[in-house]
Amino acid sequence: MAKTMTSSYRRISDHFEPDLVEDPVEQRKRRGHLEQIDYTVFAANQAVMSKTIHHVTIEDFQNLALSASKARGAWVDAAMSAARSRSPLSEQEVQRLTHLRSAYDELCEAYEAMRRMVERGYLRFQAGVPKRD
């Protein structure tokens, strides 16, 4: 399995990678099938994204980055406030920290997903001011 590092999350590719030594004709046939599968997935993703999100701009990336930054700040600020009290955290404080961390994690994942969608061609990046559809 191939492992790639994205942000602070480790992603593991679960694509089948045969260790078999097989006939070159069969290998080419399998590669052809896999390319067909990959293209089908690409086309499906592109069709869905073009109907839902349409396109993104640098401002969209900036807004998502700012939201993630604010969420991280709120999470760390709450943790520091709790630590200053020098008393054990209540269940409610732990739940609040969990909620704030989760919000930060989700925004970071959304940023990574949006970037991957542009990188893979599922989503169109439009330079400049976005046109309203």
Q: Are 49 and 117 in contact (CB under 8 A)?
A: yes
Alpha helices (H) in 53-125, listed in sequence order: 58-84, 91-119
Taking residue 122's Cβ as centre, other Cβ atoms within 10 Å add up to 21
d(CA 46, CA 54): 10
* Segment 70-114, tens digit of pLDDT: 999 999 999 999 999 988 999 999 999 999 999 999 999 999 999
Domain positions in the chain are: 57-121
pTM of the model: 0.70
d(CA 55, CA 130): 8
Residues with Cβ within 8 Å of residue 48, at least 6 apart in sequence: 122
